[in-house]
Amino acid sequence: MAAVLVRTEHITPTQTIMGADAYNKMFTLHGAMMVFLFIIPGIPAALGNFVLPLMVGAKDVAFPRLNLTSWYLWIIGAVFAVASLLVGGFDTGWTFYTPYSTTTPFKGVIPIATGAFILGFSSIFTGLNFIVTIHKLRAPGMGWFQMPLFLWALYATAIIQILATPVLGITLLLLIVERALGVGIFDPALGGDPILFQHFFWFYSHPAVYIMIVPAMGVISELISVFSRKHIFSYRFIAYSSIAIAVFGFLVWGHHMFTSGQSSLMNMIFSALTFSVAIPSAIKAFNWVATMYKGCISLKTPMLYALSFLFLFAIGGLTGLFLGSLTTNVHLHDTYFVVAHFHYVMFGGTVIAFLGGLHYWWPKMTGKMYSDRQGQIACFLIFIGFNLTFFTQFIMGTHGMPRRYFKYSEQFTTLHVLSTVGTYVLLVGFLLVAYYLIDSLVRGPKAPSNPWGGASLEWQTTSPPPVENFSQPPIVGDPYDYGDLVYDPEIRGYRKLIKTGAA
Amino acid sequence: MEAETTQSHTSSEHNPHLAHHFGSLTQQFDSGKLGMWLFLATEILLFGGLFCAYSVYRANHPEIFIYAHQYLSKFWGALNTCVLLFSSFTMAWGVRCAQLGRQRGLVVCLALTLLCGFVFLGVKYVEYKEKWQHGLLWGKYYSPVHHHDDSHEAASGEGPAPQEGHPAVASAVAQSMTPTVVLTTDAGVVVERSKILPAPTGPGGLASLSAGRESHGDEPRNVQLFFSVYFLMTGLHGVHVIVGLACIGWILRRAVRGDFGPGYFTPVDLVGLYWHLVDLIWIYLFPLLYLIH
C-alpha cells in the first residue's frame, strides 16, 4: 500500500499527493515493513511451517511451542512497527544508517528498531526449529537425499537465519541504546565509527537477501518438477547449491559498501566473492530449465508463477552482476537501477515464488480448490504490472535517476508515469488473487488429497491434513518420481497407480 | 527468556515427559539438545558483534584501552571470574547428580549455582556504582570526576554530583563541536578531516583538572569509547546472567518437586549448557576488559 502511494507521488516530477517528509517516511515504511515483516518470514514461516513437517513425514515441528512463540513475537514486532508510526514515523530508509538514524528528529526509530529486533528473534526461532526438525524428525527411511529440495532450501535458509540474525540483533540493540542513551559506538561525534554500523548491518542484511530468495528457489524446484511431470534434473547439484549460496552469502556483504569508504583491496575481494554467488544460482536455473526439457508441462497457476520466476529472477540475478562489478557499481550506486534490481530479485523472485507456493499448497492447506482460470489471469496481470513497474526503473537508473528522491527532473516523467501505471496493474492483480482465494474458501470445491500429482509426502495425506498430519505413517519414496501416479477424473486428483494395477 | 522457551517444550505433562509428536524420549532429548546448541550459536554471534566492535576500536585506538582499563578493579573482576567458574562447577555437578538420580545433591548444587549468580550480580553492582560515582560512564555521559591521589577511592559525598551534572555536560559537549571545528579551519585545508577524525568531544577539554594519576599525565581522546564498550559488553552479559538465574530458579523449583531423575533431566542439562556459555563469555570479557597491557 505504501508502495502504491510512493509510486503515485512520482506521477509528476514535483509534489503530487504528499510532502517530502511524508514521502521519506513512506518509502522507509515500505522498505522496513516489507523486508522484516513480509519477505523474510514469508516463505519460511508461512509456507515452511506448514509444509516442512508434512514433507519430512512428522507429526509436527520439533518445538511447537517455540513455533508459537515465534508467531507471537512476529505479532509483537508488527505492533512495534505500527507504534513507530504513531509516535511520528521514521525516515531513515530501512537500512537505519547511522549517524542519521541516531539524530533524525522523528521519534519512530527506536520502536521500529525494537520491532525489527523482536522479529529477528522470531526468525531465529523458526530457523532453529527447522534445523532440528529436519535433523531429528525425518520419517523412517528418509535419508538426506530423499528429502524434497524445498527442505534443502529451508535448511540452508535456517542456517543463515541462525547465524546472521543475531548480528542484526546486536546491531539494532546498539542503535537503540545509542539513540536512547548516547553510547556513541556508531556516532563520530563521540569517537564512534558509522562504517562499523554498515558492516554490521550488511553482515546480516546481505545474508538476509538469501533468507528471502533461497526458500523461493526451493519452492520453484518443487513446482517445476511437478508440473513438468518429470524427475528433477540433477537433484544433488540443486541441493548443494542451496547450501553453497548460504555459505557464499556470508562473504559478500561488503558489496553494499563499495562507495562507503572501504579500501580498494576489500572492494576487489568482495566483488570477486559476489560473482561467486552467481554460480550456484545459475546451477539452479539451468537445472530447472533442464527439468522442463521434454517434460509434459501443464500451465496451471503455480507453474505460471514458476515460469515468471525463472524469467524475472534471471533478470534480477544478471543485473546483480552489473552491480557487483566495481566500475559499473560506482555509476549505478544508489540509482533506480539498484531499486529495480532488488525488486526483480525480491518481488520477481521471492514474492512470485511465494504466490506460486501459495497456489500450489493452497488446496492442501485449506482443503479447497480455487479457480485456475482466475489464477492464470491474476498471474498474467502481476507479471505485466511488475515488468512495467520495474523495467522502466532499470532504464531510469542507467540514466541517473537517484533512488529515494522526492522530486525528479522532467526527462524522467514518461518512465515514472509508466512505472506508476505498472504499480496499479500489479495492485489489480493482487486484489484479484485476494478475491478468488477468499472466494475459494467459501465456495470452492473440495480439494482432493493430491490435486497436482506431487510425489512428496504431503500429498499422501488428506487435504487439509488431520491433527497429527498423517492418519497412517507415510511411505517414503523418491519425491520426484511421478511414474506411479495417475490422474483420476473421479476424485479430480492423482492417485497411486499400484492400487488400480493390483485389481 | 529465549532460553526458557527453547526448553519449555520438554516440560510437557504427558505420560512421563514425552511430548506427543516425538517417537521416543531419546529423540526428544536429542532434539532439545541440538536446539540448545543452535541457540547457543546465536548467542555467540550476538556477543560476536560486540567483540568485533571491541577489536576494531582496540586495534585503532589502543591508547584508550590501555589508559581506561586502569579504572576497572582487577580485584572485583578476578573475584567474579572465580565465582562464575565455581558456579559452572556446581552446575555441572548438578547435571551429574540429576543423571544419577541424586535428588539432594541436585538441589544443593542448583542452589549453590543460584547463590553464585547473585554474588556475581552483587559484585557487578558494586563495580557499576563506583563507575557511576566517578562519572566513568558511556558515550555522552562520560564526565570523569578526577581525584589527585587515587581514582578508586570515591568520596561518597560526591556521588550525586556527577549525576546532576550529566545533562549539562552533555549539552556542553554538543555545543563544543562548533568551536573545535572553527579552530581547525584556521589551520587551513584540513576542515573536513577534522570534522570526522578527532571527535571534538575529546574529554581532554572536559577534564581540565587533568588526571594526575598517570606518569604521562594526559588522557587520550575518546576515553568514553572504552566505557561504552565496557558497559555494553558487561551489561549484555549481565542480562544473560539474570536470564540464567531465572532459568536456574525454575529448574530448582522443579528439582525440589522431584521432576528429574536418570530417565528425564533434559531441562537441567540444557540450562546447564546455557549457564556454561554465560560463564564462558565472562571468561573472555575479564581479560579483554580488565587485564590490558
Map out the domains of chain A as residue ranges: 20-298
Average of pLDDT values for A167-180? 89
With an 8 Å Cβ cutoff, are A162 and B199 in contact? Answer: no
pLDDT-based confidence at residue A503 (cuts at 50, 70, 90): very low
> Does A66 lie at the interface with B, CB-CB under 8 angstroms?
yes
Can you name the residues that pair with B261 across neighbouring β-strands? B264
B196 CB-contact burial (10 Å; exposed 0-12 / middle 13-18 / buried 19+): exposed
Element (H, E) at A81: helix A64-86
Give the residue among A485, A62, A254, A343 at the shortest CA–CA distance from B19: A62
Average model confidence (pLDDT) across chain A = 87
| Three-class SS state of A466 | coil
For the record, the C-alpha cell of A44 comes out as: 519460511
For the record, the C-alpha cell of A10 comes out as: 512520482
Higher per-residue confidence, B150 vs A8 = A8
Which residues 6+ apart lie within 8 Å of B116 measured at CB?
Answer: B83, B84, B86, B87, B90
For the record, the C-alpha cell of A275 comes out as: 560473482
Residues 114-133 in A contacting B (C-alpha not used; CB under 8 Å): 121, 124-125, 128-129, 131-132
Q: How far is B16 from chain A (nearest CA, A)?
A: 18
Q: What is the DSSP letter of B17?
A: S
pLDDT-based confidence at residue A403 (cuts at 50, 70, 90): confident
Chain A nearest-CA residue for B39: A128
Give the residue among B3, B28, B31 at the shortest CA–CA distance from B15: B28
Q: How far is B202 from chain A (nearest CA, A)?
A: 8
Provide the residue ranges of all domains of chain B, joining segments of one domain with +.
25-290
- CA A242 from chain centre, in angstroms, equals 14
Element (H, E) at A494: strand A493-496
> Does B138 lie at the interface with A, CB-CB under 8 angstroms?
yes
Can you name the residues that pair with A470 across neighbouring β-strands? none
Which residues 6+ apart lie within 8 Å of A45 measured at CB?
Answer: A70, A71, A74, A122, A123, A126
> pLDDT per residue over B245-268, tens digit each?
999 999 999 999 888 888 888 899
Indicate the residue of A66, A164, A185 with minimum beta-carbon distance to B6.
Answer: A66
> Does B2 lie at the interface with A, CB-CB under 8 angstroms?
yes
Rounded-to-integer distance, Cα A361 and Cα B106, Å: 49
* Test mutation, B36, B57, B58, B228, chain A, max A CBs within 10 A: B228
- Name chain A contacts of B53, Cβ cutoff 8 Å: 174, 185, 196
B157 CB-contact burial (10 Å; exposed 0-12 / middle 13-18 / buried 19+): exposed
Q: How far is B38 from chain A (nearest CA, A)?
A: 7
**Cβ atoms of residues A65 and A38 within 8 Å:** no
Confidence (pLDDT) at A487: 85
pLDDT over threshold 50, residue A129: yes
Chain B nearest-CA residue for A68: B5
Q: How far is A178 from chain B (nearest CA, A)?
A: 8
> Does A488 lie at the interface with B, CB-CB under 8 angstroms?
no
With an 8 Å Cβ cutoff, are A188 and B139 in contact? Answer: no
> pLDDT per residue over B35-94, tens digit each?
999 999 999 999 999 999 999 989 988 888 888 888 888 899 999 999 999 999 999 999
User: Percent of chain B scored above 90 by pLDDT?
Assistant: 38
> Does A473 lie at the interface with B, CB-CB under 8 angstroms?
no
For the record, the C-alpha cell of A400 comes out as: 541517473
Give the residue among B289, B279, B268 at the shortest CA–CA distance from B107: B268
> pLDDT per residue over A193-241, tens digit each?
888 888 889 988 899 889 999 999 999 999 999 999 999 999 999 999 9
ipTM over 0.90: no
Chain B nearest-CA residue for A70: B5
Can you name the residues that pair with A401 across neighbouring β-strands? none
- Position A208: which residue type? A
With an 8 Å Cβ cutoff, are A163 and B224 in contact? Answer: no
With an 8 Å Cβ cutoff, are B5 and A65 in contact? Answer: yes
> pLDDT per residue over A320-358, tens digit each?
898 988 888 888 888 999 999 999 999 999 999 999 999
**Cβ atoms of residues B7 and B270 within 8 Å:** yes
A55 CB-contact burial (10 Å; exposed 0-12 / middle 13-18 / buried 19+): buried
Confidence (pLDDT) at A354: 93
Rounded-to-integer distance, Cα B5 and Cα B19, Å: 15
Q: What is the 3-state secondary structure (H, E, C) of A401-465?
A: CECCCCCCCHHHHHHHHHHHHHHHHHHHHHHHHHHHHHHHHHHCCECCCCCCCCCCHHHHCCCCC
Confidence (pLDDT) at B161: 37
CA-angle at A196, arms to A194 and A202, nearest 5°:
110
Q: What is the DSSP letter of A371?
A: P
- Name chain B contacts of A64, Cβ cutoff 8 Å: 9, 19, 21
Q: Which CATH superfamily is domain B25-290 in?
A: Cytochrome c oxidase, subunit III, four-helix bundle (1.20.120.80)
* Test mutation, A102, A185, A205, chain B, max B CBs within 10 A: A185
> pLDDT per residue over A132-152, tens digit each?
999 988 888 888 998 999 999
Question: Cα-flanking dihedrals φ and ψ of residue A367, to 5°?
Answer: 80, 10
Of the listed ranges A263-267, B219-223, B250-254, B273-277, the one predicted with least confidence: B219-223
Sign of the four-CA dihedral A213, A218, A219, A221: positive
Which residues 6+ apart lie within 8 Å of A338 measured at CB?
Answer: A323, A332, A397, A403
Give the residue among A366, A269, A350 at the shortest CA–CA distance from A317: A350
Question: Cα-flanking dihedrals φ and ψ of residue A486, to 5°?
Answer: -125, 150
pLDDT over threshold 60, residue B26: yes
Rounded-to-integer distance, Cα B97 and Cα B255, Å: 11
With an 8 Å Cβ cutoff, are A170 and B49 in contact? Answer: yes
Element (H, E) at A488: strand A485-488
| Three-class SS state of A107 | coil
pLDDT over threshold 90, residue B170: no
Cβ–Cβ contacts within 10 Å for residue B153, how many? Answer: 10
Confidence (pLDDT) at A13: 60
Element (H, E) at A83: helix A64-86
Indicate the residue of A58, A183, A193 with minimum beta-carbon distance to B56.
Answer: A193
Rounded-to-integer distance, Cα A281 and Cα A291, Å: 15
Give the residue among B228, B57, B198, B235 at the shortest CA–CA distance from B136: B228
Confidence (pLDDT) at B207: 40
**Cβ atoms of residues B245 and B117 within 8 Å:** yes
Q: How far is A494 from chain B (nearest CA, A)?
A: 29
Chain A nearest-CA residue for B11: A65
Average of pLDDT values for A374-396? 93
Rounded-to-integer distance, Cα A272 and Cα A252, Å: 9
Rounded-to-integer distance, Cα B279 and Cα B284, Å: 9
pLDDT over threshold 90, residue B132: no
Element (H, E) at A493: strand A493-496
Q: In this structure, which topology does domain A20-298 adopt according to CATH? A: Cytochrome C Oxidase; Chain A (1.20.210)
> Does A195 lie at the interface with B, CB-CB under 8 angstroms?
no
> pLDDT per residue over A61-80, tens digit each?
888 889 899 989 988 988 98
For the record, the C-alpha cell of A201 comes out as: 548491518
Q: How far is B250 from chain A (nearest CA, A)?
A: 18
**Cβ atoms of residues A399 and A412 within 8 Å:** yes
* Test mutation, B12, B14, B20, B21, chain A, max A CBs within 10 A: B21
Confidence (pLDDT) at A151: 94
Return the C-alpha torsion angle A115, A116, A118, A124, nearest 10. 160
Average model confidence (pLDDT) across chain B = 75
> Does A185 lie at the interface with B, CB-CB under 8 angstroms?
yes
Residues 238-267 in B contacting A (C-alpha not used; CB under 8 Å): none
Cell numbers 513507530 correspond to A84
With an 8 Å Cβ cutoff, are B21 and A191 in contact? Answer: no
Which residues 6+ apart lie within 8 Å of B183 measured at CB?
Answer: none
Of the listed ranges A9-13, A86-90, A199-203, A371-375, the one predicted with least confidence: A9-13
> pLDDT per residue over A417-456, tens digit each?
898 899 889 989 999 999 999 999 998 899 988 899 888 8
Give the residue among B77, B75, B73, B69 at the shortest CA–CA distance from B226: B69
Rounded-to-integer distance, Cα A443 and Cα A427, Å: 24
Average of pLDDT values for A29-58? 86
pLDDT over threshold 80, residue B173: no
With an 8 Å Cβ cutoff, are A136 and B225 in contact? Answer: no
pLDDT-based confidence at residue B206 (cuts at 50, 70, 90): very low
Q: What is the DSSP letter of B149?
A: S
User: What's the residue count for chain A?
Assistant: 503
Of the listed ranges A134-143, A358-367, A480-489, B143-152, the one predicted with least confidence: B143-152
Q: How far is A79 from chain B (nearest CA, A)?
A: 20
pLDDT over threshold 90, residue A263: no
Residues 209-238 in B contacting A (C-alpha not used; CB under 8 Å): 221-222, 224-225, 228-229, 231-232, 236
CB contact burial B76-98 (16+ within 10 A = b; e otherwise): ebeebbebbebbbebbebbbbbb
Average of pLDDT values for A300-320? 93
For the record, the C-alpha cell of A436 comes out as: 478468488
B213 CB-contact burial (10 Å; exposed 0-12 / middle 13-18 / buried 19+): middle
Q: What is the DSSP letter of A485?
A: E
With an 8 Å Cβ cutoff, are B196 and A165 in contact? Answer: no
pLDDT over threshold 90, residue B16: no
Cell numbers 576515553 correspond to B223
| Three-class SS state of B222 | coil
pLDDT-based confidence at residue B184 (cuts at 50, 70, 90): very low
Q: How far is B186 from chain A (nearest CA, A)?
A: 20
Confidence (pLDDT) at B43: 93
Count CA atoms closer than 13 A to A92's CA, side-chain side: 26
Average of pLDDT values for B276-289? 93
**Cβ atoms of residues A164 and A208 within 8 Å:** yes
Residues 146-205 in B contacting A (C-alpha not used; CB under 8 Å): 170, 174, 177, 196, 199-201
Confidence (pLDDT) at B149: 42
Confidence (pLDDT) at B42: 93
Higher per-residue confidence, B119 vs B184 = B119
